[in-house]
Structure 1
């Protein structure tokens, strides 16, 4: 399986278009923030000493979790050009073939998320934001791995039903846009209708955003709310999805960790089951 993973990684990174489209949702979020969202939301935070720092950190946290689906283009190409039949006719088991694709997607998700974080940190530093310390960066790496585990599991399950590059492109566009809204990447969660907010709170990938925001926004929160009432900070934390509140109870970080772990295990098992039982790929 390791040889297949190496082969898939080489194919993916050799295709510059695949890498670009994997980052497209991140580029869109940055562009939307710089051109539209930033000024709109900042206008309501003028009472804070450094609202730009808060919003830039929020934007980076939202952008860091939208790169998973683009990691699975290799399997679609193999299906379309029938290369996958060669793997299924080899001595390698179908479960190992499916596992090779899934591990590839997981690794690519981690790599692209790290790249996004590095790019975002450079942007925050140049824009006057706080550069994160080593301890926070290590915690962020753990969140990246956990987030990639869950989001790439969901992506692998979706990909298991697609056969052509055209269907893959359409699904990537639709799912990428939908995820952007469901994790609060385009609009702060508190600005959404109540029923949509509940949908966001029960969407697994949104819990990745919560963990990212708690780490990335911590310096900005400290700089902005040192002299603000606790009630104002509570309202902002709920508005921007830094915490999720269920029936008046604020969910601790371990709840988000548990949701992501369970999501990853369930969807990876489902993806392997679907991939290994597709009779039309034998």
Structure 2
């Protein structure tokens, strides 16, 4: 399986266009925030000290979460190409087990997604330094990397399942465009969750990636929130955190970080199993 993973990684990084588009979401989200969204959100929180820096930290956390999705989509283009050229049939009829085939795709995608997300992390720190916002401490960086890995693993399994349903590159390209367009909304990046309809809010809270982003926001915003809300009632800060998707509530009960981690791990296992079932059915 290691040879298979190396083969997938070489194919991805050899395609400079695929690498570029994997990071394109970073620059799109950052550009939208700088040109349009940033000032709108900051103006909404004029009463909060350091609102600009607070929102900078908020968007940077979301940017990393989105990258872990878009990078995975780009990496799984190799699997779609293998299917469209019938190469995957050679793998399926080979002595290699189905779970190893799926594992090879998911692990190579996981590696790509992790690398691209860490690059996004570096970009986020550079932007925070430029905007004179609080940078992450060493311990916080370790925490962020761990959450990146968990979120990327969950996204890899989810995209693997979606990709296993397609056989043509055209269909995959269409699906990729749709996912790329919607991902910013269903993770509460373009609009805070409080501005979305109740039904859409439930979708956001049910989406595994959103839970990874929620934890990232807590880490990124911790220092700045302590400073910004130092002289403001704790209830207002709790309302802010709920409105901005820093924490999620279900039936007035907060979703803990432990629960969010279990959601990420559980979704990874679920989608991986579903992907094996799909390819096993096609093999028959």
Q: Same fold (TM over 0.5)?
A: yes
8 Å contact from structure 1 (residues 183, 200) kept in 2: yes
Task: State the alpha-carbon separation in 1 of the partners of residues 155 and 193 from structure 2.
Answer: 19
**Residue 225 (1) aligns with residue 232 (2):** no
SS of the counterpart of 1:277?
helix
Q: Residues 130 and 77 from structure 1, CA distance in 2 versus in 1: closer, same or farther, beyond 3 angstroms? A: same
C-alpha displacement at 1:81, in angstroms?
A: 2.3
Task: Note the 1:182-261 alignment, pairs <5 A.
Answer: 182-261=186-265
Q: What residue is the counterpart of 1:16 in the other structure?
A: 16
Runs of 5+ in structure 1 lacking a partner? Answer: none
Task: Find out whether 1:276 has 2:280 as its counterpart.
Answer: yes
Q: How does 1:75-114 map to 2 (within 5 A)?
A: 75-114=79-118
Distance 2:122 2:166 in 1: 32
Would you say the 8 A contact 1:204–1:260 is kept in 2? yes
Paired position in structure 2 for 1:262: 266
Native 8 Å contact 2:92 2:283 kept in 1: no
Structure 2 partner of 1:177: 181
Runs of 4+ in structure 1 off by over 3 angstroms are: 88-91
Matched with 1:125 is 129
Classify 1:258/1:91 alpha carbon distance in 2 versus 1 (closer, same or farther; 3 Å).
Answer: closer
Deviation at 1:269, TM superposition (A): 0.9
Q: What is the CA–CA distance in structure 2 between the aligned matches of 1:136 and 1:9, rounded to whole Å?
A: 29
Give 1:168 deviation, angstroms: 1.5
- Determine the structure 1 residue equivalent to 2:35: 35
Q: Structure 1 stretch 233-242 or stretch 93-102: which is displaced more?
A: 93-102
Report the Cα distance in structure 1 between the residues aligned to 2:269 and 2:90, rounded to whole angstroms.
28
Q: Quote the Cα distance in structure 1 between the aligned partners of 2:93 and 2:257.
A: 45
* Superposition deviation, residue 62 in structure 1: 1.0
* Structure 1 vs Structure 2 CA RMSD: 1.5
Say how many residue pairs are matched.
280
3-state SS of paired residue (1:23): helix
* Unaligned 5+ runs, structure 2: none
Shift of 1:89: 4.1
Partner Cα distance (1:168, 1:20) in 2: 18
Helix, strand or coil at the partner of 1:131? coil
